[in-house]
Copies of this chain bind each other. A is one copy, B any other.
Amino acid sequence: MSDIEREVRAVAERAGDAAADLAPLSRAVKDAALEAIAEALVKRADEITDANARDVARAREDGTSEAMVDRLTLTPARIGAIADAVREIVELPDPVGESVRGGVLPNGLDLRQIRVPLGVVGIIYEGRPNVTVDAAALCLKSGNAALLRGSSSAYDSNTAIVAVIRDALAGTGVPVDAVQLVPGRTRESSQALMRARGLVDVLIPRGGGSLIQAVVRDSTVPVIETGEGLCHVYVDAAADLDKAVAITVNAKAQRCSVCNSAETLLVHEAVAEAFVPRVLAALADADVTVHGDDRVRAIAAAHSSPATVVGATEEDWAAEYLSLDLAVRVVPTVDDALAHIRRYSTRHTEAIVTDSLPTSRYFVSRVDAAAVMVNASTRFTDGGEFGFGAEIGISTQKLHARGPMGLAEMTSTKYVVTGDGHVR
């Protein structure tokens, strides 16, 4: 075992001890700790911005794009917003102890299934240092110890932020080791975290597809896959075309860089002649480049569409563009739409636009995805929009949690069975 692996495992063991102490704490104790964190972040913003300046300088030296530098940069105002987000988590109900199922068995035993923390949650993430605070706060509120492994580009910022959080915890009933940074900034340290089975209860990667796939591949710790979204909008033969245009443009262009934006539009051939010219015009207004099949290109040409339409290839159907590009295909039937979705979807969010109740029922029962939108934009798949208050990510897997993961999804359960000396 290498030194760094030994260090990571020692940190994980301390997290396990902290998790055991954290599990029975009441909401009041956890909320007071979160308040203390929010206050400390604002009070010690200078320390954090100083550390952040070192990360930013290093990023500039490395020739990082200004957009990425901006994502990395912390200002007092941004730290204030991060602290406000912590206070929003204070307001959310505590999932721990919630009764999920309960009753009295025929033999008089009292059976209750209650929510309990998962234990030690590892978060491996890229990008913005606000995730450090956000992940720590969501873990604490749900009674979990957090092991944070951010990107090496934000290492100084994350180190400063975690020091502030831990100092704040020292004055509360929450153990300080409930929030720890995984030591090291090399690949070896994240690999050690992924191999800490038995010490870490779950790993949640937050970031791009390649990060997530690497964690899924290398981790022996159970992983919750999040975030990859190759979402489709299917415009049915019975669609209201006004709604279909609005939903398509919103799903693609309202914020194209996120996982719940649409990447492919499927159009039933019965409405293709009427719908495609209209949607192409609206997409052109939104600066969207269309990657169309032969049918779409023929319709665009026949109508002298103002849209930029290039030919779609096999790669386009499989592309999570995360940009102002949209693949568009005409399909003969709803079953062809379902077959296309089954082949290319990442099972995140699929939308149908239709006024036909039977077709809506047919599509909803057959499409395999975390969320199915009927006459609504794919952009609604979001913890905030769903009313969960906060989310740690959007799960695209089927085990444990599927779709936006709020605080309840960061818990497990425990059966509590109470009797009067019952035996079998």
Contact = CB atoms under 8 A, between A and B. Distances in A.
Given A20-B368, A368-B23, A375-B419, A250 B424 contact: yes
B366 A24 contact: yes
B398 A365 contact: no
Contacts of A187: none
A227 B286 CA distance: 56
Residue in A103, A111, A240, A385 whose Cβ sees the most chain B Cβ within 10 Å? A385
Contacts of A379: 423-424
Given A365-B23, A421-B247, A414 B370 contact: yes
Contacts of A111: 386-387
Interface in A243-285: 243, 246-247, 249-251, 254
Interface stretch (A60-68, A296-304, A399-407): A399-407
A376 B240 CA distance: 60
Given A23-B368, A222-B397, A397-B222, A418 B118 contact: no
A118 B347 CA distance: 13
Contact of A380 (B366, B417, B421): B417
A376 B422 contact: yes
Contacts of A412: 398-399, 402
Number of copies: 2
A375 B413 contact: no
A256 to B, nearest CB: 13
B222 A399 contact: yes
A424 B105 contact: no
Interface in A289-342: 342
Contacts of A360: 418
Interface in A371-389: 371-377, 379-381, 385-387
A218 to B, nearest CB: 10
Interface in A345-366: 353, 360, 364-366
A414 B369 contact: yes
Contacts of A372: 414-417
Given A366-B24, A424-B250, A386 B415 contact: yes
Given A20-B342, A399-B412, 9 more contacts: A119-B368, A201-B399, A202-B398, A224-B399, A242-B421, A246-B423, A360-B418, A371-B416, A374-B419
Interface of A: 20, 23-24, 103, 105-106, 109, 111, 113, 116, 118-119, 197, 201-202, 216-217, 220, 222, 224, 240, 242-243, 246-247, 249-251, 254, 342, 353, 360, 364-366, 368-377, 379-381, 385-387, 397-400, 402-403, 412-424
7 contacts: A20-B366, A20-B368, A119-B368, A247-B421, A374-B416, A374-B418, A374-B419
